[in-house]
């Protein structure tokens, strides 16, 4: 049987879309044909037949106009971006991988890579019929074995600094706790200025008249208070006042496309950030109101937190006969930290959220980045009756800037308590730490949280922007960097910078 081609179908669909009135009976048939082709492309993409999937996505772009079928056009663009990301990462032969391993790990021997491959530490895919290795295997290896991290000397030094930041933070919270009276969950606020700047060269702007931009904006939480916009440039660009109690923190802006100059958009936002320090007495937690909206919402099964039979069985095997929600949450936390290895998997994260299930992927692979590790932990908690959710946003510990996802679990009387399985698990791999230091870090990320982070998306990942973006998004899972389009076309080339620094006048009320 010959490979399926959609050229003839594409031409037919174009004719239908451009010549048949919108109210005609043929229009739904054309749309249905296009949707079927898109679903076929998704299946090919999932099977890693990328060349065939790309052909269909490109043909769909020719079929879909900018009005009736703009959503499908956007989805096809998104498919091409996903495939581009995955092809850019799964691109090494075994020889290329070994060459890079020899450059990274002191004393590397080729026989070691065969053993790592046997253990499943080296990820590979069969892409378009050819076995290719993930080029981030070189970095990911260090998270499987502390001794391997020690052999990657430059990385080990960086992670030792990382661990020390949170050891110092834990000691500081201990001092604040000792000096305080009654237990306080949120302490010692500092006022920060969140500065964001986007620059697009004139030559990189698509033709058009109007530029639309979606900037991440802090969300209101018990640990993030007194949020306010300080300045916006160009003046008058802010069209939608950010709702700090929404599910996604979005500042929506519009600006005329500059005729000669580069496009520059800047925002500054102030907020007060608190350290988080939960002091929970497990036996004092009252029973859940299982009929409440909160309980039903955050214990239900969802596409990315699927409470499957194998997942429920795993969670029950971990918690055993324990019935206290706090102790169950801690047992699950320790199990995830001990059994799910951190790996950079961002290149296929958007694919997982499009046609997969994050919690099942982690359950089966036992690896994941902060996104799917946190989703997996939340799913385990939900499966044993503990309300759980995930959040994301920029983080800015001293000397660091990154994006991050972490979880929260809910206990009556106490509220939502933070849990960061990823930082705990990564910190435990750092060479040179004492057993006491490893235990301190493990305890810290269950109920304590640094103030160097802010929420830009909560409760669910992969949420739509408001108002909708009509072109493909740079990142669909997390909203932590601006999205931009000019007259309905995505603007892929841009320079984005951000910082979060203490305000000059840092006296919080």
User: pLDDT digits over 66-94, tens only?
Assistant: 666 889 999 999 999 999 999 999 999 99
Question: Quick one: 175 and 321 in the same domain?
Answer: yes
Question: Quick one: 162 and 309 in the same domain?
Answer: yes
Question: Quick one: 27 and 85 in the same domain?
Answer: yes
Q: Kindly state whether residue 451 falls inside one of the protein's structural domains.
A: no
3/272 Cα distance (integer angstroms): 59
Question: Quick one: 425 and 285 in the same domain?
Answer: yes
Q: Which residues of 131-144 are buried (b: 16+ CB within 10 A; e: fewer)?
A: ebbbbbbbebbbbb
Report the pLDDT value the prediction gives residue 66, as an integer from 0 to 100: 64
Instruction: Judge whether 483 and 465 are in contact, CB under 8 Å.
Output: yes
Task: Write the Ramachandran bin of 241: left for phi over 0, alpha for psi from -120 to 50, otherwise beta.
Answer: beta
For residue 341, the cross-strand partners are 367
Instruction: Judge whether 42 and 20 are in contact, CB under 8 Å.
Output: no
Question: Quick one: 372 and 391 in the same domain?
Answer: yes
Task: Write the Ramachandran bin of 264: left for phi over 0, alpha for psi from -120 to 50, otherwise beta.
Answer: beta
Question: Quick one: 290 and 430 in the same domain?
Answer: yes
Question: Quick one: 262 and 237 in the same domain?
Answer: yes
Report the pLDDT value the prediction gives residue 488, as an integer from 0 to 100: 92
489/77 Cα distance (integer angstroms): 11
CATH code for the domain in which residue 469 is found: 2.60.40.2250
CATH code for the domain in which residue 178 is found: 3.10.620.30
Report the pLDDT value the prediction gives residue 29, as an integer from 0 to 100: 54
* pTM for the model: 0.91
Instruction: Judge whether 246 and 262 are in contact, CB under 8 Å.
Output: no
Report the pLDDT value the prediction gives residue 412, as an integer from 0 to 100: 97
Instruction: Judge whether 192 and 501 are in contact, CB under 8 Å.
Output: yes
Report the pLDDT value the prediction gives residue 184, as an integer from 0 to 100: 86
Q: Around Cβ 247, how many Cβ atoms within 10 Å? A: 14
200 phi and psi angles, rounded to 5 deg: -125, 125
Question: Quick one: 432 and 307 in the same domain?
Answer: yes
Question: Quick one: 158 and 223 in the same domain?
Answer: no
Q: Kindly state whether residue 51 falls inside one of the protein's structural domains.
A: yes
Report the pLDDT value the prediction gives residue 7, as an integer from 0 to 100: 34
Q: Kindly state whether residue 324 falls inside one of the protein's structural domains.
A: yes
Question: Quick one: 362 and 322 in the same domain?
Answer: yes
Instruction: Judge whether 232 and 160 are in contact, CB under 8 Å.
Output: no
What is the biggest distance separating any 2 CA atoms in the chain, rounded to whole angstroms? 77
Instruction: Judge whether 414 and 285 are in contact, CB under 8 Å.
Output: yes
Report the pLDDT value the prediction gives residue 506, as an integer from 0 to 100: 66
Range of the domain at 102: 1-134
Instruction: Judge whether 425 and 373 are in contact, CB under 8 Å.
Output: yes
Report the pLDDT value the prediction gives residue 84, as an integer from 0 to 100: 95
Q: Kindly state whether residue 356 falls inside one of the protein's structural domains.
A: yes
Q: Kindly state whether residue 453 falls inside one of the protein's structural domains.
A: no
141/174 Cα distance (integer angstroms): 34
Written as six digits, the tokens of 234 are: 């160009």
Question: Quick one: 485 and 437 in the same domain?
Answer: no
Please give the helix or strand (H or E) that residue 280 lies within, else none: none
Domain count, the chain: 3
Q: Kindly state whether residue 457 falls inside one of the protein's structural domains.
A: no
pLDDT in tens, the chain (509 residues): 333 333 333 333 333 333 222 322 334 455 678 899 999 999 999 999 999 999 999 999 998 876 668 899 999 999 999 999 999 999 999 999 999 999 999 999 999 999 999 999 999 999 999 999 999 999 999 999 999 999 998 899 999 999 999 999 999 999 999 998 778 899 999 999 999 999 999 999 999 999 999 999 999 999 999 999 999 999 999 999 889 999 999 999 999 999 999 999 999 999 999 999 999 999 999 999 999 999 999 999 999 999 999 999 999 999 999 999 999 999 999 999 999 999 998 788 899 999 999 999 999 999 999 999 999 999 999 999 999 999 999 999 999 999 999 999 999 999 999 999 999 999 988 999 999 999 999 999 999 999 999 999 999 899 999 999 999 998 899 999 999 999 999 999 999 999 999 998 766 55
Written as six digits, the tokens of 103 are: 């450059």
Percent of the chain with pLDDT over 70: 93
Question: Quick one: 30 and 125 in the same domain?
Answer: yes
Q: Kindly state whether residue 454 falls inside one of the protein's structural domains.
A: no
Written as six digits, the tokens of 4 are: 């399926």
Q: Kindly state whether residue 452 falls inside one of the protein's structural domains.
A: no
Rg over CA atoms, the chain? 25
First to last CA, the chain: 73
């Amino acid at each position: 049987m010959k490979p399926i081609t959609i050229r003839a179908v594409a031409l037919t669909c174009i004719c239908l879309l451009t010549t048949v009135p919108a109210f005609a009976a043929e229009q739904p048939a054309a749309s249905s044909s296009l949707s079927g082709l898109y679903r076929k492309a998704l299946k090919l993409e999932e099977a890693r037949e990328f060349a065939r999937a790309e052909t269909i996505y490109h043909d769909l772009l020719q079929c879909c106009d900018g009005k009736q079928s703009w959503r499908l056009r956007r989805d096809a663009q998104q498919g091409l971006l996903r495939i581009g990301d995955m092809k850019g990462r799964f691109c090494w032969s075994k020889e290329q991988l070994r060459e890079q391993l020899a450059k990274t790990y002191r004393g590397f021997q080729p026989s070691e890579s065969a053993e790592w491959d046997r253990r499943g530490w080296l990820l590979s895919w069969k892409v378009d019929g050819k076995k290719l290795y993930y080029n981030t295997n070189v970095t990911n290896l260090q998270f499987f074995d502390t001794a391997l991290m020690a052999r990657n000397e430059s990385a080990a030094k960086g992670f030792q600094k990382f661990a020390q930041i949170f050891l110092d933070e834990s000691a500081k919270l201990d001092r604040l706790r000792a000096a305080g009276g009654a237990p306080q969950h949120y302490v010692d606020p500092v006022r920060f200025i969140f500065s964001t700047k986007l620059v697009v060269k004139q030559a990189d702007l698509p033709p058009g008249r109007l530029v639309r931009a979606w900037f991440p904006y802090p969300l209101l939480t018990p640990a993030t208070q007194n949020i306010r916009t300080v300045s916006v440039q160009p003046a008058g660009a802010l069209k939608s006042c950010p709702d700090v109690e929404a599910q996604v923190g979005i500042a929506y802006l519009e600006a005329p496309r500059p005729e000669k100059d580069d496009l520059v958009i800047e925002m500054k936002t102030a907020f007060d950030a608190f350290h988080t320090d939960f002091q929970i007495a497990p036996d004092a937690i009252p029973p859940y109101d299982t009929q409440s909206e909160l309980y039903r919402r955050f214990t239900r099964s969802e596409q990315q937190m699927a409470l499957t039979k194998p997942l429920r069985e795993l969670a029950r095997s971990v918690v055993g006969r324990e019935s206290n929600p706090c102790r169950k949450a801690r047992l699950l936390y320790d199990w995830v930290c001990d059994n799910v290895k951190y790996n950079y998997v961002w290149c296929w994260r958007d694919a997982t959220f499009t046609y997969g299930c994050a919690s099942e992927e982690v359950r089966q692979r036992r690896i994941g980045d902060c996104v799917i590790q946190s989703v997996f932990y939340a799913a385990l908690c939900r499966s044993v009756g503990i309300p759980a959710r995930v959040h994301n946003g920029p983080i800015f510990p001293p000397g660091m800037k990154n994006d991050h996802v972490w979880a929260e679990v809910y206990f009556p009387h106490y509220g939502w308590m933070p849990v960061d399985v990823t930082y705990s698990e990564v910190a435990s791999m750092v060479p040179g730490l004492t057993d006491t230091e490893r235990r301190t870090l493990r305890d810290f990320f269950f109920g304590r949280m640094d103030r160097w982070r802010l929420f830009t998306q909560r409760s669910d990942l992969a949420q739509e922007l408001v108002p909708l973006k009509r072109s493909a998004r740079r990142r669909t899972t997390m909203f932590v960097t601006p999205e931009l389009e000019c007259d309905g076309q995505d603007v892929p080339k841009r320079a984005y910078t951000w910082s979060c620094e203490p305000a000059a006048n840092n006296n919080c009320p």
